Amino acid sequence: MIRIETEHGWTLIEHPEHAKLAGRFAARWGNALFTAPEPRADLLTAVTRHDDAWADRDRTPFITRQGRPSAFSQELVGVYSAFEEIDLADYLAVRGRAAEGVAADNPYAAVIISMHTVDLLTTHADLSGLSAADRELHRLFIEGQRRRQAELVRAVAVIPGCAEAASPARLQGAFEFLQACDSMSLVACSRFPRPIALRHSHPRRDGTRSVVECTPLGGDTYRLSPNPLDADEVVFDLPCRHVPGATFASLGEFRALYAAAPVSALMIRIVS
């Protein structure tokens, strides 16, 4: 779940919808300045499905000890310090299922999703608040993910015509592309209020690389500079629910309000 605090309560977006939005960004990436991602079909699968594992949890959402929706928020954009306010073992279980959910159908996509997971939990994770037991759980999880990546890479490399795509350089580029689309979607889904660069720099057709800056303009409109998408203005609808109330006295109260809230949509507008 991703939350936006509003004057009357919370706008809530389920993680799989955030990932689908990232996938729609990915599908529009590529223009006269920026190269389109390759291998395209595999990368679109990775970006679109990288949060499938959150679906069950988001259908029966939780609240924090303070009575707020337990969810990713704008305070966590670029910094994973709170593990979305959930038990670490539960969090790691969801993250582990993220890659396995696509591994049988698309091992290449699974590698990229696992790389994304490991990066979130290492490069951007603040482990200072974890107990010794949770630190060990975290260490074992990361080791397991890296072993699984190696297994999947070996499986991809023997597929005819896929050896080059499974090279370290190509995998790194694919991972960075997922990260960029993910960060763009998180900015929109959390209504991040300040300019921020999308993750990593990205290849241009002239052989150089560019960082893409995302600037909120208000009204769920964002400027990308330089714009990597295939039009000067693109509009995406983002399914969400609006739940009234700042805090909730019980989990049952919150879940009842969430279930009763109709699905509506935010209109996300991207401009040059």
Print pLDDT tens along the chain (272 aa): 999 999 999 999 999 999 999 999 999 999 999 999 899 999 999 999 999 999 998 999 999 989 999 988 887 776 655 554 668 888 899 999 999 999 999 999 999 999 999 998 998 787 887 889 999 999 999 999 999 999 999 999 998 888 899 999 999 999 999 999 999 999 999 999 999 999 999 999 999 999 999 999 999 999 999 999 999 999 999 999 999 999 999 999 999 999 999 999 999 999 99
Question: Considering its fold, how many domains does the chain have in total?
Answer: 1
| Domain span holding position 97 | 2-271
Residues 200 and 212: their CA atoms lie apart, in Å, by 8
pTM: 0.95
- Pair 231, 197: CB distance under 8 Å: no
250-265 burial, b for 16+ CB within 10 Å, e for fewer? Answer: eeeebbebbeebeeee
Edge to edge, the sheet with strand 221-225 lists 2-5, 9-13, 233-244, 263-271, 221-225, 209-218, 196-203
